[in-house]
């Protein structure tokens, strides 16, 4: 696979990366750019057809990729996938991208919906880190990158459960970075603002039928830069943070927000 980075910058040659939620959206873009920069990518997703589609796309372009079907909220499922991968090769990079959204205030959030958001967005990240941390410790190296959100630290309207979950991702990132620094394991997170993905398209169609154009414009204008981010822009930041060029960076949250925090 040719492309940017072929001169040695941000290369991931001989690295093995696991990308959860890699079958679509941001995860798809991360898997693709990692493969293009030399990594063997394991795409973990609940949707087997999406995961295999991304893996096939990467392989057809000359990259290395394998697909795995997994529900990250179920510990046994996660352990099965990681055991399978690590029987054959080490895991150098873990990207915790899998997650679900939720709209609602405290009063609009039933207990079962709160629990589901927690199970996927919080316990899913915990499960994946738990299942690979001993492996990384034994090798005394590794990179963990978590996908948080601007909702981790900004008060967004109607995002009670989602903000809870992403706040947990942010603080888990800080804790893991501190606890495993002596093992040469780096842990950072990215906090995107709104990103234009198939998930966002489906969400808008489902919740605002007949008002799609209006809502997309509203979402775009909520960022001072005047548009939503593209998945490939988040993926480029992920590539840097997982590369050797970022070897001095750990315990950091990187907003990629079109000026949301500072320029509103």
Do the strands 93-96 and 64-69 form a parallel or antiparallel pair, or are they unpaired?
unpaired
**How far apart are the C-alpha atoms of 218 and 205, rounded to whole Å?**
14
Please provide the size of the chain in residues. Answer: 264
Pick the closest to residue 101 from 238, 198, 211, 241 (CA basis). 198
Question: Could you give the C-alpha distances from 249 to 67, 160, 208, 215, 246, in angstroms and in order?
Answer: 29, 30, 41, 37, 5
- What does the radius of gyration of the chain's CA atoms come to, in whole angstroms? 18
Q: Is 74 left (phi over 0), alpha (psi -120 to 50) or beta?
A: beta
Q: What tokens appear for 100 in the block?
A: 């679900």
- Please indicate whether residue 162 is annotated as part of the active site: yes
Residues 162, 196, 208, 254: which is the catalytic one?
162
Cβ-Cβ contacts under 8 Å for 41 (sequence gap 6 or more): 17, 18, 19, 22, 31, 34, 35, 55, 58, 63, 64, 65, 66
The residues carrying an active-site annotation are 162
């Amino acid at each position: 696979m040719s492309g940017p980075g072929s001169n040695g910058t941000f290369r991931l040659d001989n690295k093995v990366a696991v990308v959860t939620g890699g079958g679509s959206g941001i995860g798809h873009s991360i898997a693709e750019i990692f493969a293009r920069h030399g990594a063997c990518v394991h795409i973990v997703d609940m949707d087997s057809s999406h995961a295999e589609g991304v893996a096939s796309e990467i392989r057809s372009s000359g990259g290395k990729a394998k697909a795995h079907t997994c529900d990250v909220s179920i510990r046994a499922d996660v352990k099965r996938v990681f055991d399978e991968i690590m029987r054959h090769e080490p895991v150098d990079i873990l990207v915790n991208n899998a997650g679900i959204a939720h709209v609602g205030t405290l009063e609009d959030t039933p207990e079962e919906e709160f629990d589901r958001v927690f199970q996927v967005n919080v316990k899913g990240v915990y499960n994946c880190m738990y299942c690979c941390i001993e492996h990384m410790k034994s090798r005394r190296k590794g990179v963990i990158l978590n996908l948080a959100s601007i909702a981790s630290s900004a008060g967004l309207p109607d995002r009670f459960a989602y903000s809870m979950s992403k706040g947990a991702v942010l603080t888990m990132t800080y804790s893991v970075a501190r606890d495993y620094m002596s093992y040469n394991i780096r842990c950072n997170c990215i906090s995107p603002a709104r990103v234009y993905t198939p998930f966002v398209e489906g969400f808008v169609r489902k919740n605002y039928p007949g008002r799609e154009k209006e809502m997309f414009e509203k979402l775009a204008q909520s960022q001072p830069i005047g548009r939503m981010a593209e998945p490939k822009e988040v993926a480029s930041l992920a590539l840097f943070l997982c590369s050797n060029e970022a070897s001095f960076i750990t315990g950091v949250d990187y907003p990629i927000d079109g000026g949301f925090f500072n320029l509103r």
